[in-house]
Structure 1
């Protein structure tokens, strides 16, 4: 999956942002929320009006949203800077801390995550080992990762670029081609047929389709390891 580049966080990630003492030189976002309360009192449909008002401002107001390194997010607005924990549904703004409301900042972060512009709380930004584009990966993941275009799932049909043979993927490992050892105690990148592929790429294990049959599934056939870019999915191979 490809995403736009996210600017680096330029402040401490220990939660100091959004907890600074107010110097009185900026407008507090809570003024908009107070306006919601007044509107709700006049139209007689309080909860609905407040919800709609916050949702609309979450979509249209200028906000800069960035992920922190501790699964939280920071939201910068004209009225202040706030820290959001999406998984626990909390925000450091007055609307949430004082009124207990699901504020526009929480809503904006949820929108950005849902639309794929920010990683979810259980994800982080990583880089595809094949093409180098940024992609979202599990937060605690280690080892080389692949983007949606170059990644594989168990059971995917793929072609070997070197031989043209059809294989079926059993799994994508977290070991690099220069780390993974075969039964011969050789690293994957040491084989001459893999010289054109990156030693830093994750190894993909696969079985040859010709070895499969009614009595032999992908867990019964002999598995082979390949640098990720040596294999291409059947669908992409047709496009190329």
Structure 2
């Protein structure tokens, strides 16, 4: 995917374009079919393969299991996707509608534990970057855990014109902060909507849970039915 590289997990830079015909792409780490992403049986096993082919207006459905952004211990690698894609996790692998999911019973985990077990110093810096996002971008039913940027850094970065809607996500045990939302200077009203989420035991300097930076312009953040538990902030 030819996108600018930044060591930050959520990176959203949005624009306005016309929606294209919607495709649905399937991902299942245990799939045994031809792996073309066209059905649960033939699902991609690698999440990044689905994100590479998905276009604005498409949906990516991800079955339960643990997904790593790299297999070569490159801490700078993260999952990368364009805005306008609807990303759903928490499927068992037979569903025909997101409403049939039990995302807590069948967790879809994006994990930064790419190196030695229980050694955070070789974990991924970040887990997901989303480019050119707006209100059509959806991240739903995923568990992000074990990213490690290091003490005093921000490891989840969102630059958005418009909103990214994140219902039903958990961000656990990441160092560098859980989610940083930055509104682009040229745009008024960028922001984030977080609903039914859980931020657990994250650490950071400026906002261990969520930090919204707006370059002295207006920015909106809606937090609905969301739990912040045992997050540690060292700046404020």
* TM-score exceeds 0.5: no
TM-score, scaled to structure 2: 0.25
TM-score, scaled to structure 1: 0.24
Q: Which has the higher contact order (CA 8 A, sep 6+)?
A: 2
The structure number with the bigger radius of gyration is 1
